[in-house]
Amino acid sequence: MSGLYLPKEYLAILLFIVLGVGFGVVTLWIGQFFRMKRPYFEKLVAYESGNPPTDEPRMRFSVKFYLIAILFIVFDVEAIYLYSWALVYDKLGMFALVEMFIFIALLLVGYFYGWKKGALQWEK
C-alpha cells in the first residue's frame, strides 16, 4: 500500500465528514438517555404546517417531473465537459471552439426535439 498518497488538502474534507457524522450520531445517542419517550397519536402525525395531513405520503407523482429531471441531468453532464474544455480552449484555439460547438449542436438537436414536442410545456 506504499503507493497510496493522500493529498493534504483532502484531510479537511475527511475531518469535515468525521465531525459531521459524529455530531449527528453522538448527539442522538446521548439524547436518548435524557429525552422522554411518551408517543401518542397527535405526536406521531406527520407535521404539515399545522394542518392535519389529507393524503397518503406515498402517492404517484406526475411523470412530467421525470422529464425535467432528465433535462437537468443532460445539461449537468454537459457542464462537466464544458468545464474541462474551458480550461484548455485557449491553448487549442479555434479547433477546440469548433469541437465544442459541434458538441453543443448535437445536444441542441435533442433539446429542440423536446421543445417542439411540448415537453417544456407544463400543462395541467
Partner 1 sequence: MIIQAIFIVMTLCTLGGAVGVVSSRNLFHSALYLILSFFGVAGYYVLLSAGFLAVIQLMVYIGAIAILILFAIMFSRESAMNSAKESQANRQRWLGLPVAMGLFISLIAVIIPVNWPIQQTAPTTDMVRDLGVAFLTSYLIPFEVVSVLLSVALIGAVMLAREENPPVKETK
Residues that bind partner 1 (CB under 8 A): 1-7, 10, 13-14, 58-67, 69-74, 76-78, 80-81, 83-89, 91-92, 95-96, 99, 102-104, 106-107, 109-111, 113-114, 117-119, 124
CB of 98 to partner 1, least distance (A): 10
Whole-Å CA distances, 3 to 6, 10, 43, 55, 88:
10, 17, 55, 56, 30
Taking the least distance from each CB to partner 1, the nearer of 35 and 121 is 121
Q: In the complex with partner 1, which residue's Cβ is closer, 32 or 121?
A: 121
Kindly state the smallest distance separating residue 70's Cβ from partner 1, in Å: 4
Half-sphere exposure (CA, 13 Å, Cβ side) for 95?
3
Cβ distance 122 to 64 under 8 Å? yes
Closest to partner 1 by CB, 42 vs 76, is 76
Least distance between partner 1 and beta carbon 25 (Å): 15
Cell reading at 98: 469548433
Please identify, using beta-carbon distances, which residue of 26 and 30 lies nearer to partner 1.
26
Helix (H), strand (E) counts: the chain? 4, 0
Smallest separation (angstroms) from partner 1 to the CB of 27? 22
Angle (nearest 5°) at CA 73 between 70 and 76: 150
